[in-house]
Structure 1
Amino acid sequence: MPNGIIIIDKPAGWTSMDVCAKLRGIFHEKRVGHAGTLDPMATGVLPVFLGRATRAVEFAEQTGKEYLAGLRLGLVTDTQDVTGRVLEERPVTCAPAEVEAALAAFRGEILQVPPMYSAVKIGGKKLYELARKGREVERKPRPVTIHALELLERTGAGDYLLRVRCSKGTYVRTLCHDVGAALGCGGTLSALRRTEAAGFGLDRAVRLEDVQAAADRGEAERLLLPVDAYFRDHPALTVGLREERAARNGAAFPWRGADGTYRVYGPAGDFLLLGELERGRMRTVKSFYEV
């Protein structure tokens, strides 16, 4: 059965779950999950985990992401992007220098109010379900971090291309909306391309049609990265048979070394687990071995 990670360059018009469904059919594997939802209009990096690798999704979801975002000034929509219903259109009189100056207030730790068209739940209901019924409810601001926010170029009279590096939970369309509000002319997201997620960039991404072509040749599994590729920043260590038996039984085992998080491999070289070494005892954080 296929086990591993594949980085998809998601096409516009597809939901993240559409991509997972397609890959579920290609690889004939029920266990498929993704790290970080992309709206249908967005394109770019979508890490997808198959088989036992789905156990790593919870870690990958927590990481920051990077985007190229189109900011369109003078336009306000109900979805905060160009796919929504236009609420306001205003003249744009600000110069690029003013846009650059406005971005300064959005770098670092900021508060964002989740958009109504989002999967955030309030009172057990997803906001987009309420929004589609014409309802709007009060949302509390949430802390997010904008690690980098750069104006790359002006692409039209009121259009700009931004590079955004941000924490989990950041809505780039809300960022565009809020920048437009700060400039007094309104703003919305005109395009979005994710360039990095879960530590993987576009250089590792493949198109769905290329995955299908590889599957038609019987070579789709060659596109999968091993699950330990996600944990590559943690040091690796190889244990003996005694330690492997303990780990497979869910028990901690003694090990010498500096405290920290490790990739733990069995004597045969197979990836057993992500472990935490503390005071000479290695405990399992998450196991990845064959049962």
Structure 2
Amino acid sequence: MSRRKKGDAVSGWVVVDKPVGPTSTDVVTKIRRLYNAQKAGHAGTLDPLASGILPVALGEATKTVPFILDATKGYRFTIRFGIATASDDAEGAVTATSDRRPDAAAIEAMLPRFTGEISQVPPAFSAIKVDGERAYDLARAGEAVELKARNIIIHNIKLLGMPDGDHAELEISCSKGTYVRSLARDLALALGTVGHVSALRRIAHGPFGEAAAIPLDKLMGLGHIPPASDALRTHLLPLETALDDIPALALSSEDASRLRQGQGVLLRGRDAPIFSGPVLATHRGDPVALTEYSQGELKPVRVFNLGS
């Protein structure tokens, strides 16, 4: 006999506006407890010094996390010129200084070099594994960390302004795997100086933007407003919100049942030619399974247990 899971069978996405300070794991723990969810996870770490969009998946929505991990992200950040740090952000020890400061025209002229597909070396203080160890653990222990360059995509980058000669505010849209700290470091070096990220905010993550986000403290406060469950539910987005970019297909009760049992479904007639790759199978408007379409058949990859 299987052990009953602790918590409620709540499923969906909560788009949290994370403040500076807590880790992403801290936020996920708070949200899971707030909703009394059986399981929870996030779709992309935000450093403690960063704020902004942190999509938290609850229950069956955790099965859609990979689609958000691969999604385009947007960031607004500030570079502090003249000071390099070991972590490429304001938390690390100072490793170099420079008296040189670029002006807005020089920054604008350099941005095309950092647009499109570029090669980037991740920061030494990152979660990338080196011989089975996290790079940040090795770096904190004083060991030299050499990480390989990787290709990432900066879809667009723009200078928002310069509040003073030491700082520049920028905004980017980028691919998975982009390190803003590396971008700030490399941009400063290309401008003949050094620099680090002094402020960082994620403003978009796939289908989730600032308009859908709720500040963490405000969300936690709703747990004390009766009836708390109703107030919290207004900020719980359907799990299929993460799947806006993939096609959906409505199935009959019989075909939905087959998918739930792990069996494939043959597509007949006009449905068959229109799909390529992942497909969201639904029944009466509810998600049934993430499927893969191949040779005329939908094969279940992730089945949703929503009790419908």
TM-score, with length taken from structure 1: 0.95
1:62: how far off? Answer: 1.2
CA–CA distance in structure 1, aligned partners of residues 293 and 139 of structure 2: 47
- Provide the residue aligned with 1:7 in structure 2: 15
Q: Is the 8 A contact 1:259 1:279 kept in 2?
A: no
Q: Does the alignment pair 1:247 with 2:263?
A: no
Equivalent residue runs for 1:112-123 within 5 Å = 112-123=120-131
Q: Does the alignment pair 1:189 with 2:197?
A: yes
Deviations 1:33-78 (A, max 9, x none): 0001001110000000001111111221111210001011111011
Q: Is the 8 A contact 2:11 2:60 kept in 1?
A: yes
- Provide the residue aligned with 1:99 in structure 2: 107
Q: Does the alignment pair 1:264 with 2:281?
A: yes
Among 27, 32, 55, which residue is 1:47 paired with?
A: 55
* AA of the residue aligned to 1:242: E
Deviations 1:182-209 (A, max 9, x none): 1111111111010001321000000112
Among 276, 290, 305, which residue is 1:274 paired with?
A: 290
Equivalent residue runs for 1:180-259 within 5 Å = 180-217=188-225, 218=228, 219-256=231-268, 257=271, 258-259=274-275
1:129: how far off? Answer: 0.4
1:279: how far off? Answer: 4.0
1:111: how far off? Answer: 1.1
* AA of the residue aligned to 2:98: R
Deviating 4+ runs (over 4 angstroms): none
**250-259 or 233-242: which moved more?**
233-242
CA–CA distance in structure 1, aligned partners of residues 19 and 95 of structure 2: 28
Among 84, 87, 90, which residue is 1:76 paired with?
A: 84
- Provide the residue aligned with 1:111 in structure 2: 119
CA–CA distance in structure 1, aligned partners of residues 19 and 78 of structure 2: 17
SS of the residue aligned with 2:45? coil
**36-45 or 131-140: which moved more?**
131-140
1:82: how far off? Answer: 1.4
CA–CA distance in structure 1, aligned partners of residues 123 and 144 of structure 2: 10
What stretches of structure 1 of length at least 5 have no aligned partner? none
Q: Is the 8 A contact 2:207 2:241 kept in 1?
A: no
CA–CA distance in structure 2, aligned partners of residues 220 and 259 of structure 1: 36
TM-score, with length taken from structure 2: 0.90
CA–CA distance in structure 1, aligned partners of residues 152 and 89 of structure 2: 20
CA–CA distance in structure 2, aligned partners of residues 277 and 133 of structure 1: 48
* AA of the residue aligned to 2:296: G
* AA of the residue aligned to 1:273: A
Aligned length: 290
* AA of the residue aligned to 1:227: L
Q: Is the 8 A contact 2:80 2:195 kept in 1?
A: yes
CA–CA distance in structure 1, aligned partners of residues 129 and 248 of structure 2: 39
1:116: how far off? Answer: 1.0
Deviations 1:199-258 (A, max 9, x none): 210000001122222222212123100101111233333211220121111111122411
Q: Percent identity?
A: 37
CA–CA distance in structure 1, aligned partners of residues 102 and 121 of structure 2: 25
CA RMSD for the aligned pairs? 1.5
**159-168 or 211-220: which moved more?**
211-220
1:157: how far off? Answer: 0.8
**193-202 or 215-224: which moved more?**
215-224
* AA of the residue aligned to 2:301: V
